[in-house]
Chains A and B, each alone.
Chain A
Amino acid sequence: MLTKETIYSKDASNKKIMVERVFDAPVETVWQAWTQSDLLDQWWAPKPWKANTKSMDFRNGGTWLYYMEGPDGTRHYCKVDYTSIVPNKSFSGFDGFCDESGKTLTDMPGMDWKIVFNGEGETTKVEVEITFASEADLNKIVEMGFKEGFAAAHSNLDELLAKK
């Protein structure tokens, strides 16, 4: 399988990061993978972390509440508050850390998301735009967990690719 190129660009003045990627599936299938919790749980967390949905209410004003579980059992509760949904086209939301009941932890970093889907027959281009509140938020996200996951993520990915 050919690894698809992911395009990253940043707009530092607005603390924005854009990620663009093409997937080998029609837009309806890709849309489902990004918006249905049973599918999100299978790919959203970068290995070795695992995403587990507590509740999903995919509609304007609704929330996806889930936790990321690390290999040592560490749990980070996260949520996405959906602010705008246009089926098979785009959705926006606020992504932040929270407690078990979904209450936002205000001392933790948060970011705004906008995800746009462009179907092109059997492929779909997805554009992700992430806006961070501050550089401090960026740094905090790196300090937390994700960092420790990376080394392990690489070996996991290698394993996965070797199976092909």
Chain B
Amino acid sequence: MRRDVFQAIADPTRRAILSLLALQAMTPNALADHFDSSRQAISKHIKILTECQLITHEQTGREIHYHFNSKKLKEVDKWLQQFREMWDTRFTQLDNLLKNTKNKRS
């Protein structure tokens, strides 16, 4: 199954994981300690986040640290920003149209 960023950030646990990693890099165990869910469940979330490139990992000796990849999340923001600009422009045009309609009536 193909993973996508929108799906990845839709889950509250995955958003919480991202919030924690945004503050500091963490090991899988340290991460799991923050949640009531099983380690297995957390590790599944980590796998999804990794597949979507929202987090990366770094191996130091025997320890793995997960890092938050803010660049990937910005891609989503960028898309939304473009979407907003399109609608803002469209709505300003509609405002003008409605204003002209009103003027014609009065």
Is A101 located at the chain interface by the 8 A CB criterion? no
- Number of B residues with CB within 8 Å of any CB on chain A: 29
Q: Are B6 and A138 in contact (CB under 8 A)?
A: yes
Known: A10-B80, A25-B102, A138-B79. A160 touches B96 (CB 8 A): yes
Contacts of A10 in B (CB 8 A): 80
A39, B79: Cα distance in complex, Å: 28
| A24 lies within 8 A of B6 (CB) | no
B26-63 at interface with A (beta carbon < 8 Å)? none
Can you report 16 residue pairs joining A to B where beta carbons are below 8 Å apart? A1-B99, A3-B92, A4-B95, A8-B80, A10-B80, A12-B10, A15-B6, A23-B91, A25-B101, A29-B102, A39-B97, A46-B85, A135-B7, A142-B82, A147-B82, A153-B86
Whole-angstrom distance from the CB of B55 to the nearest CB of chain A? Answer: 17
Q: A10-B80, A43-B93, A135-B7 are in contact. Are A153 and B98 (CB under 8 A)?
A: no
